[in-house]
Structure 1
């Protein structure tokens, strides 16, 4: 796998324009789509949490016209950028909604799939636990919660670049840092979710598919 560059971590790193662009999102969207083609349902609503700039939401809505795509974020700058990317986009790309995954009160009551891209390592662990809680509330049995990002795994040697990335994240905020797949799986199991599949991705990232158990 290629060594990853260290991308910006927050919306503030991406300038001040309403419609912001993250180089990492431009690079990885095609790779993510190939896995989503296997993992997403044939129809229904996909809730994307921590949608960031909105680039992914726009691309995914265009690629999956049979799905309603619900972007969300808790950052006002991100919500503005998502709205800007939505302009002129497909009808199945819904207006962004504000969701703090660490809180229990979400404006979405159910979803056929959920997606989280590059959130777990740039948020307190409680935000990921809240996302698992939300998936347990919103998803029907068998429906997926999908993660993409840099994760640590006990059976995979951590790339030096990821170790450096982890150190840089923790230097920026002590609540940030790369998480272990095994820790996520244990927390998910306590909430009725099961880690069903892990796919290695370019730049030492993983995609993880969790499913809601019956």
Structure 2
């Protein structure tokens, strides 16, 4: 049982730059599903600063207690209780997704898991759904910085299946399920924020 709130310094560092873009993407009242909410810090920050949204955190069961602690402290009416969701689950706890956000997840997933994520999204993304993906990417098979190269090596040493994914591979998966790239934002610490829309 988690007794102390989990904390990510990276979340503290990147939450404000991400928020500035989310304000422009998720500008209408809707429910945003967050895949891989981690500590819950992003969920609290975005729900507090985007009060027109309902924010739905999700993560694997082992991470839910920590998210609950952040949510309990935040006391935000538009921050929904976190739900258990693994991309491999045959049935997700939703009927339809109009808006989706995920941060720092694709590089800790295997390529097979990333493919499965996009396959599952075909069942849930509504027409005109907006999707934001934050994290590091390689372009044309190359790292964008020395720090990303070191980070990728560290990831692979922990789990050989993990690692920074190629932007082109992610876009191929996205386009296959009807997602088109709206923007590719440069972010601090050599990260990117991809904005995609589901076309009819």
Sort the TM-score into its range (normalised by shorter chain).
over 0.9
Query: Which one of 24, 27, 44 corresponds to residue 30 of structure 2?
Result: 44
Instruction: Give ranges in structure 2 of 5+ residues lacking alignment.
Output: none
Q: Deviations over 1:38-95 (max 9, x none)?
A: 111411110001000000001111011111100000141x200110001142111000
Query: Which one of 49, 57, 68 corresponds to residue 83 of structure 1?
Result: 68
Aligned residues of 2:98 and 2:128 also touching (Cα < 8 A): no
Equivalent runs, 1:169-180 vs 2, <5 Å: 169-180=155-166
Runs ≥4 in structure 1, deviation > 4 angstroms? none
Residue 123 (structure 1) aligns with: 109
In structure 2, distance between residues paired with 1:23 and 1:201: 16
Equivalent runs, 1:13-162 vs 2, <5 Å: 17-76=3-62, 78-88=63-73, 89-154=75-140, 158-162=144-148
Shift of 1:36: 0.5
Higher strand share: 2
Secondary structure of the residue aligned to 1:92 is coil
Residue 8 (structure 1) aligns with: none
Instruction: Give ranges in structure 1 of 5+ residues lacking alignment.
Output: 1-15
Q: 1:126 to 1:156 in 2, by over 3 A?
A: closer
Q: 1:156 to 1:202 in 2, by over 3 A?
A: farther
Greater Cα shift, 80-89 or 27-36: 80-89
Aligned residues of 1:136 and 1:212 also touching (Cα < 8 A): no
Q: 1:71 to 1:85 in 2, by over 3 A?
A: same
Residue 189 (structure 1) aligns with: 175
Residue 13 (structure 1) aligns with: none
Secondary structure of the residue aligned to 1:112 is strand
Q: 1:121 to 1:68 in 2, by over 3 A?
A: same
